[in-house]
Amino acid sequence: MAGGCSREAGLSRETSVRYLVGRLAWALLILLGTSAITFAIVFLVPGDPARVVAGPRADAETIATVRRELGLDRPVAVQYGWYLRRLVRGDLGRSYTTRQPVTELLRRRLPATATLACAGLAVAIVVGVGGALVTAALAGGWIDRVAFLGSLALLSTPVFWLGMLALYYVAFRWRLLPLGGAGGIRHLVLPALVLGLGTGAYYARLLHTNLVAVLGLDYIRAARARGVGTVRLVAVHALRNASLPLITVVGLDLAALMNGVVLTETVFHWPGLGRLAFDAVLGLDVPVIMGTVLLSATLVVLTNVAVDLIYRLVDPRIRLR
């Protein structure tokens, strides 16, 4: 009996490891696909990177030299091969415009974006969970109705417009917070709120639906019969089960959050990766485009693997595939 148990535990650990390795292998393949597609798209852009590098006043000979130096005269597939070989060694090349190593650029820009994204996500989760708890406890009442309309309106608001409104009123008219740029915590408040509110409203809708469904289950009725109060019932007993699907959504949504990050960084002049990537796309800075897309895709893919694992840890009902 005891031996059987331990063997089972050993088996499940083995399957977990195999599962994790499988997921990571897929993650690697996905990244390979992402990089290939990006490379292909970038080379389809009408425009000549060599001309961009050489500068607007370069003559034809200089441009030709630059093209040869950068290997731009070789077939795209060959260039992609070179890129991958350097990538394995951790070399992402140099920016065409500033000549700085891309890894250096990414390392300098990543903290600002990571701070903004984490703060935005924190706002979203607080708003989402808080809003859902309140509206689920008061389901059917007028507060629930108003919150429903409010969350739909927030969901429907363009993030950059919300940012401009916040800048105009909070920063410009009322002079409560700085007008943009990065710095202390005061610079972070508005961008984080703007980035997180819409996503938070989405989480609140989702969690609300789950909560209301869970609140109708037998174990909740049993707890209520035992005399558990409404607050404890919703916030402890129901939330635990209702929040499970939300974990997946948060993971899947990370790529969508990056869209918001690009726009928020633009509005608030936040010196992050989003702006770096956007400027690189417009300026045909191929190594920087590749670097930012790969970094962003890596973060998204790894988060999804992590979310999958967390989900399976939190909910014992889900068996490993």
Partner 1 sequence: MAKRGARGTLAAGLLMAAVLVAAALAGPVVAPYDPTVSAAPQLAEPMPPAAPFYLGTDDLGRDVLSRLLHGARISLLVGVVAMAVTVTIGTGVGLTAGYFGGAVDVLLMRCTDVMLAFPGLLLAVALVAVLRPSVWTIFVVIGLVSWTGVARVIRSEVLSLRERDFVLAARALGAGHARVLVRHVLPNTAPTIAVIAALSTSGTILLDTGLSFLGLGVPPPTPTWGRMIQEATTYYRVAPWLMLFPGLAVLFAVLTFNLIAYGLTRGGRAPAT
Q: Does 208 bind partner 1 (CB under 8 A)?
A: yes
Q: Is 26 in the site for partner 1 (CB under 8 A)?
A: yes
Binding of residue 172 to partner 1 (CB under 8 A):
yes
Write down the least CB distance from residue 40 to partner 1, Å.
10
Provide the minimum distance between the beta carbon of 61 and partner 1 in the complex, in angstroms, as a whole number. Answer: 28
Shortest Å, Cβ 9 to partner 1 = 30
Minimum separation from the CB atom of position 245 to partner 1 (A)? 8
Binder among 76, 126, 252, 313 for partner 1 (CB under 8 A): 252
The Cα 306–Cα 95 span in angstroms is 32
- Of positions 53, 204, 289, 290, contacts partner 1 by CB under 8 A: 289
State the Cα angle at 301 between 314 and 151, rounded to 5°. 70
Q: How far is the CB of 129 from partner 1 (least distance, A)?
A: 17
Cβ atoms of 83 and 290 closer than 8 Å: yes
Alpha helices in the chain (DSSP H): 2-44, 49-54, 60-70, 76-88, 102-137, 142-155, 159-166, 185-215, 218-225, 230-232, 239-242, 244-252, 254-268, 273-282, 286-314
Tokens of 167: 């800048």
Q: In whole angstroms, give the CA distance from residue 62 to residue 52.
A: 12
Q: Indicate whether 33 belongs to the interface with partner 1 (CB under 8 A).
A: yes
* Binding-site size, partner 1 (CB under 8 A): 56
Of 115 and 304, the one with the shorter C-beta distance to partner 1 is 304
Q: Are 268 and 116 in contact (CB under 8 A)?
A: no
Q: Minimum CB separation from partner 1 for residue 77, in Å?
A: 18
Give helix 185-215 / helix 102-137 axis angle, nearest 10°: 40
Residue 264 makes contact with partner 1 by CB under 8 A: no
Helix (H) or strand (E) holding 74: none
Burial-class residue 236 by CB neighbours within 10 Å (0-12, 13-18, 19+): exposed
The residues of the shown chain that bind partner 1, judged by CB under 8 A, are: 26, 29-31, 33-34, 37-38, 41-42, 44-46, 140, 145, 148, 152-153, 155-161, 164-165, 167-168, 172, 205-206, 208-209, 245, 249, 252, 255-256, 258-259, 262-263, 266-267, 277-278, 281-282, 289, 292-293, 296-297, 300-301
